[in-house]
């Protein structure tokens, strides 16, 4: 079962942490953990590629657009010039990204997909028009249950996450102490990349933003850690607990 373990490091060793997020988000995470005293190693396991829908979505008729990531924000900004759309986001970071992209009407569920679903049910009316969910080709969460409450939900695939199943050379030698994992697809690509490398997964602490994110490693005799809540702040807190930076003497 996933747990929060502490691992031993020599006093002169700075923990090396794999950042598996796609770029450019991975660079922002790297800057954060460097401030915390870690050595970040950029090793994106997914590449985000834009997708153009076969039919142009009618955003003007939508009562709301649901977004679950900053990639969804980028896709929405690319697919429409409208900025007065009612945008509901899964969390505060995605909401901030939507505001930076120029969208004026933005509300955050400050949680996960279930929180966003609950916000949609409580703040929207089935009679006010369709709801558009701008998402990746392999979405982690579906809002189809809204149809059971009378809503019309349209799925707009605006991007896709393509696996990168190789690690950069600086991620392999020396071996990392830990890896930050953001999704099950990331974990699948990372697992494949590690199998092709000299890295011993038993010596790596895999820290997932959720239990589902590190499920592909469940059969490996490795240290698995799950963040207390599915956000990056909790993920980095889990990192600090599981792989503490040696104190300087």
* Measured distance CA(116)–CA(107) in Å, rounded: 10
Helix axis angle for 25-35 and 232-242, nearest 10°, is 40
Whether residues 129 and 185 share a domain: the answer is no
153 and 177 Cβ atoms separated by less than 8 Å: no
Rounded CA-CA distance 76/68 in Å is 11
Residues 151 and 176 in one domain: no
Give the model's pLDDT for residue 173.
87
CA atoms within 13 A on the CB side of 138: 11
Decide: helix, strand or coil at residue 155. Answer: strand
Give a yes or no: residue 4 inside a domain: no
Q: What is the pLDDT of residue 249?
A: 61
* b/e 65-101 (16+ beta carbons within 10 angstroms → b): bbbbbbbbbbbbbebbeeeebbbbbbbebbbebbbeb
- CATH number, domain of 172, equals 3.40.50.10090
> CA angle, corner 178, sides to 177 and 180, nearest 5?
160
- Is position 11 within any domain? no
Do 178 and 234 have their domain in common? yes
Q: What is the pLDDT of residue 6?
A: 36
CA 225 – CA 24 distance, rounded (Å): 24
d(CA 225, CA 234): 11
**pTM of the predicted protein model:** 0.77
Which residues contact residue 96 at a Cβ distance below 8 angstroms, ignoring those fewer than 6 apart? Answer: none
- The tally of CA atoms less than 13 A away on the side-chain side of residue 157 is 14
Tokens of 214: 């590190």
| 89 and 25 assigned to the same domain | no
- On whether residue 2 sits in a domain, the answer given is no
Last residue within a domain, chosen from 162, 188, 208: 162
Based on the domain organization, do 221 and 209 belong to the same domain? yes
Q: What is the tally of helices (H) and strands (E) in the chain?
A: 6, 11
Same domain? 109 vs 206: no
pLDDT of residue 121: 97
The pLDDT value recorded for residue 67 is 97
Distances (CA, A) of 167 to 20, 183, 192: 10, 17, 10
Residue 249 domain-assigned? Answer: no
Rounded Cα distance between 51 and 8, Å, is 45
How far is Cα 30 from Cα 33, in angstroms, rounded to an integer? 5
**Local confidence pLDDT in tens for the 249 residues of the chain:** 444 433 334 334 899 999 999 988 899 999 999 999 999 999 999 999 999 998 999 999 999 999 999 999 999 999 999 999 999 999 898 999 999 999 999 999 998 889 999 999 999 999 999 999 999 998 878 899 999 999 999 999 999 989 998 999 999 988 999 999 998 889 999 999 999 999 999 999 999 998 989 999 888 888 999 999 888 999 999 999 999 998 876
Tell me, yes or no, whether 110 lies in a domain: yes
Domain that holds residue 141: 48-162
Domain end residue (candidates: 127, 146, 162): 162
Are 106 and 193 found together in one domain? no
Is the same domain home to 86 and 128? yes
């Amino acid at each position: 079962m996933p747990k929060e373990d502490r691992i031993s490091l020599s006093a002169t060793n700075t923990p090396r942490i794999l950042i598996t997020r796609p770029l450019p988000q991975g660079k922002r995470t790297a800057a954060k953990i460097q401030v915390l005293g870690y050595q970040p190693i950029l090793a994106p396991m997914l590449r985000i590629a834009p997708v153009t829908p076969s039919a142009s979505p009618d955003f003007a008729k939508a009562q709301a657009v649901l977004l679950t990531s900053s990639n969804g924000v980028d896709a929405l900004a690319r697919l429409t010039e409208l900025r007065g759309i009612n945008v509901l986001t899964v969390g505060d970071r995605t909401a901030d990204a939507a505001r930076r992209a120029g969208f004026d009407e933005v509300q955050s569920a400050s949680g996960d997909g279930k929180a966003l679903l609950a916000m949609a049910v409580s703040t929207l009316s089935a009679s006010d028009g369709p709801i558009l969910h701008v998402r990746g080709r392999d979405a982690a969460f579906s809002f189809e249950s809204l149809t059971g409450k009378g809503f019309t939900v349209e799925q707009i695939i605006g991007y896709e996450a393509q696996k990168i199943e190789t690690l950069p050379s600086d991620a392999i030698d020396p071996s990392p102490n830990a890896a930050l994992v953001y999704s099950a697809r990331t974990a699948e690509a990372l697992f494949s990349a590690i199998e092709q490398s000299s890295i011993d997964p038993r010596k790596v602490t895999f820290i997932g933003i959720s239990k589902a994110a590190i499920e592909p490693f469940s059969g490996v005799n490795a240290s698995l850690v799950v963040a207390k809540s599915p956000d990056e702040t909790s993920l980095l807190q889990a990192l600090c607990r599981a792989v503490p930076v040696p104190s300087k003497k």
